[in-house]
């Protein structure tokens, strides 16, 4: 088993590779995309088993279909909700069958539309406890943000024979949530991981942060959690986190392109390398290294 030190040395050794040359800012731009991509519908499609993509070009939303109704993960901006509904219906499902609404983290581009989804479907909205304060401030059109059930690390959300596990992976937000589940295809069962986020945005203060003194430690903990998870199919709150644009054209032309355990490890490597670069820069600026 690699020690933490050996892992960090490995990341340092990979820094010279062009694949690891992206800065935190470049990764942020890669994930978020352009404003046009926020609202441009990506072709809705089956990912694997009972999991479908119903998001836009840069904001991921997933539909988990069960015999007792469906789970939607990420309402995105409120303006995205009609786009998500159209994607669900193009796949042959009813948007009104959405029974549970979950989210990746308390940023508007992932959870602003919660109130509208609840209004349209009656879905039960669930969110990680640490993100609730931020969600309460998210009021498009001055609508109160609904939270019907507060979740904690390791809680299970069950519907129609499917179990989703909420894993607290803080840093990006206090309650950033990575969802894990299992899906069956071709007689095999696969581990699915929907990464909440481990991106470091411009302005994130990892050192001497008076509001969140342990932010850097939260990120480090989250990387450890994510690396401990079994993953066959990596997904994420932004489709660029799992190279959707490159994988989508390969659907139906061979093995399922979303089965990509190495891609999961690679994404964690480049994200952690970028995080450590920002942390080192801020430590130096603060005279701590």
Pairing of strands 149-151, 156-159: unpaired
SS (H, E, C) 138-160: CCHHHCCCCCCEEECCCCEEEEC
Q: Residue 5: its pLDDT value, please?
A: 53
Question: Torsions phi, psi of 49, nearest 5?
Answer: 55, -120
174: nearest Cα among 214, 137, 140, 209: 214
Query: Please, what sign has the CA dihedral across residues 168, 169, 175, 176?
Result: negative
Which residues on adjacent β-strands are paired with residue 188? 185
Q: Residue 45: its pLDDT value, please?
A: 98
pTM: 0.93
Distance CA(219)–CA(278), nearest Å, equals: 12
* Domain range annotation of the chain: 4-284
Q: What is the pLDDT along the chain (289 residues), one digit of tens a residue?
A: 455 555 654 555 544 444 455 788 899 899 999 999 999 999 999 999 999 999 999 999 999 999 999 999 999 999 999 999 999 999 999 999 999 999 999 999 999 999 999 999 999 999 999 999 999 999 999 999 999 999 999 999 999 999 999 999 999 999 999 999 999 999 999 999 999 999 998 789 999 999 999 999 999 999 999 999 999 999 999 999 999 999 999 999 999 999 999 999 999 999 999 999 999 999 999 999 7
Q: Hey, how many other C-beta atoms are within 10 angstroms of the C-beta on 21?
A: 12
CATH topology of domain 4-284: Metallo-beta-lactamase; Chain A (3.60.15)
């Amino acid at each position: 088993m690699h020690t933490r030190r050996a892992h960090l040395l490995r990341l340092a050794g990979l820094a010279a590779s062009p694949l690891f040359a992206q800065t935190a800012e470049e990764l942020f731009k890669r994930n978020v995309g352009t404003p046009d991509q926020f609202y441009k519908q990506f072709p809705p499609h089956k990912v694997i088993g009972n999991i479908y993509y119903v998001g836009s070009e840069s904001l991921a939303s997933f539909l988990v279909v069960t015999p007792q109704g469906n789970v939607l993960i990420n309402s995105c901006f409120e303006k995205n909700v009609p786009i998500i509904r159209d994607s669900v219906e193009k796949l042959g499902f009813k948007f009104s069958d959405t029974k549970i609404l979950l989210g990746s983290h308390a940023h508007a581009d992932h959870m602003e539309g919660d109130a509208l989804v609840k209004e349209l479907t009656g879905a039960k909205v669930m969110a990680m406890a640490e993100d609730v304060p931020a969600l309460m401030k998210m009021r498009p059109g001055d609508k109160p943000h609904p939270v019907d059930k507060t979740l904690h690390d390791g809680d299970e959300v069950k519907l129609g024979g499917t179990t989703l596990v909420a894993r607290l992976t803080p840093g990006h937000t206090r309650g950033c949530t990575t969802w894990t589940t299992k899906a069956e295809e071709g007689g095999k069962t696969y581990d699915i991981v929907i990464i909440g986020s481990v991106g470091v945005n411009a302005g994130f203060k990892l050192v001497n942060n008076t509001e969140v003194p342990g932010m850097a430690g939260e990120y480090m903990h989250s990387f450890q959690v994510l690396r401990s998870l079994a993953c066959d199919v990596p997904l994420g709150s932004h489709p660029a986190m799992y190279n959707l644009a490159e994988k989508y054209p390969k659907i139906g032309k061979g093995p399922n392109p979303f089965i990509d355990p190495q891609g999961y490890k690679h994404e964690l490597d480049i994200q952690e390398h970028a995080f450590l670069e920002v942390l080192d820069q801020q430590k130096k600026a603060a005279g701590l290294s």
